[in-house]
Amino acid sequence: MSSTQVPYIVMLGDVGAGKSTILEKLTGTTGRSSNSSTSYTHTAEVFQSFDGRLIICDTPGSNATKDKFGHNIHIAHAIKFRPVTCILIVVKAEVRIDNVVTSVKEYSERFIPDQLPISLIAVCVTHMDLVTWKKAEFLEYLSTELGIETAVTSSKFTSRETLCNDILQECKKKRPVPIEVDSDTFLKLFKIGNSNLKVLRSINHEVSLFKLKVDKFLKQFQEYQTSQTYGYEDRMNMIFDFQSLMLEEIIEIQKRVSKVNKFEFTDENKMVIEAGHLANMTNQLRQILSVVRIEASQYHKEVDTGFRKCPFCNTIWQKSEGCDDLTNCGSRPFGVFDVWSGEMSSFKFTWNEKDEIFWVRKLAADRSRSAARTSDGVIEKAYNAYLSESVGSRGTGIGCGNFISWSKMAPVPVSMVPVKFDHDISSTHDVKTIPQPARRSWNVHFDAAIDKLQKLQVKPSVR
């Protein structure tokens, strides 16, 4: 078997979970595991198993108390190294099985389908000699809670041959996948914030309020479906309008939290913490938004659900805000959208925060929203400014840059939408983890950190 055909395993887990002990058993390498109170492994290293049937990477603890960014940069480096056959979540056995399942859940939730294929994930429970429960009991919990049917277990009595065979068995169900971890994906996968109570309190408030709005809307929406208050097309427009509104709300929340906590993204040391907090918050908001998008996906039929094509270059676009204003192919509306005016293309959503009441009202079909929004020339000026920028201007980026009017663009049936665009309408991959103004500084910092790392090489096992 060539080295490119040998399964590549990346181990992930908390400090002290037993990743390095697993590596030492499989490879014969010594000196990586430790009983110290802090993480002993600080870098990612790749080894060949004792029999050459596995290539396995040991990584630092993802939850290290110091230098979380540095530790997780090494993990990202390991994931990018070569096509990954299996991400092995390593957890330490505890007296209570549900605690172990919770640890698995926390890790696997980071690797949601629109970031990494869920099929890559496998579970390994270490220190089984320290508990009285058996593997079969753990699998029952794991299956019930997470839908994961198999797991590898290890104790100090488990032979390296048995451990290697069990991991290989997991790999038989998987196919290698090349994974690119960029600066945005990194923030979706790893937690690098600190425990600043003021910041966490402001984040918890925003997440709770966002969830409350979604819950209130979905309750009304279910009632509309049952009562037939609105017909099929109205309900379709309502759910698509609402999910677009809440996507805009996430952007506004990021701005509010940044302002309240004075996030500036100028200091390199503070930047990591600031990005970590916003990412942690946005990941929570993404999960809440995904519930709305899953609900919307049932209306994704052969009707005009907001896909239209540019009459100049035939680029296919999705309706995100719904206005009929003059725009240009490849841009978003600029600075003229008040998210909690709540007025979208077909419905107006009103939120009374004091009484926690949510209203939905259908808008008149003949209303002219574009006239009010373009009367002072703001739209035209914004687009002219946009076209003067290098990114997204005519001839660059996505779209041709020609001026287009949504109301005059031809609808596109779902069957004609490119697979890469339409593979999962319930996905939240379009939700950016940090606001646009901070993204450039963060990207530079992330790329510089990756560039400093030494290229990984597969080290032979110790016979």
Same domain for 20 and 118, yes or no, is yes
In-domain check, residue 391? no
Residue 411 lies in a domain: no
Are 12 and 155 members of one domain? yes
Among 181, 200, 219, the domain-final residue is 181
- The answer to whether position 404 is within a domain reads no
* 32 and 112 part of one domain: yes
**What separation in angstroms does the CA of 1 have from each of 5, 161, 463?**
6, 18, 19
pLDDT of residue 160: 93
Whether residue 209 lies inside any domain: the answer is: yes
Exposure string over 206-224, b if 16+ CB within 10 A, otherwise e: bbeebeebbebbbebbeeb
Instruction: State whether 27 and 166 are in the same domain.
Output: yes
- CA–CA gap between residue 103 and residue 142 (Å, rounded): 11
What's the pLDDT score for residue 39? 46
Q: List the pLDDT tens digit at each of the 463 positions of the chain.
A: 556 689 999 999 888 889 989 999 999 887 766 554 444 667 899 999 999 999 999 998 876 667 788 888 999 999 999 999 999 999 999 999 999 999 998 888 777 666 677 888 999 999 999 999 999 999 999 999 888 899 999 999 999 999 999 999 999 988 999 998 999 889 888 888 888 999 999 999 999 999 999 999 999 999 998 888 898 888 888 988 898 889 889 989 999 999 999 998 888 888 999 999 999 999 899 989 989 988 887 775 545 546 667 766 667 776 554 455 566 676 644 444 456 678 887 889 998 888 888 889 998 765 544 433 333 333 333 334 433 433 333 334 456 666 676 666 666 655 555 544 444 556 777 788 888 778 889 999 999 999 999 899 999 887 6
- What per-residue confidence (pLDDT) applies to 50? 93
Select from 157, 181, 205 the last residue of a domain. 181
> Are residues 126 and 25 part of one domain?
yes
**CATH number for the domain harbouring residue 22:** 3.40.50.300
Task: Dump strand ranges (E) for 136-263.
Answer: 152-153
Tell whether 386 is covered by a domain: no
Asked if the structure places residue 348 within a domain, the reply is no
Residues 215 and 156 occupy one common structural domain: no
Q: Are 188 and 110 in contact (CB under 8 A)?
A: yes
**Whole-angstrom Cα distance, residue 22 to residue 31?**
12
Tally of structural domains, the chain:
2
Does one domain contain both 218 and 192?
yes
In a domain, 355, yes or no: no
Tokens of residue 85, six digits: 């056959």
Q: Are residues 216 and 99 in the same domain?
A: no
Q: Could you say which of 153, 181, 209 is where a domain stops? A: 181
Do residue 39 and residue 155 come from a single domain? Answer: yes
- 218 in the same domain as 175: no
**b vs e for 159-174, b when ≥16 Cβ sit within 10 Å of the residue's Cβ?**
ebeebbebbbebbeeb
The verdict on 290 and 162 lying in the same domain is no
- Evaluate whether residue 442 is within a structural domain: no
The neighbouring-strand residues paired with 358 are 351
Which tokens hold the place of 59? Answer: 């990584």
- Full domain range(s) for residue 280: 183-300+426-436
**168 and 196 belong to one structural domain:** no
SS (H, E, C) 67-99: CHHHHHHHHHHHHHCCCECEEEEEEECCCCHHH
pTM summary value: 0.70
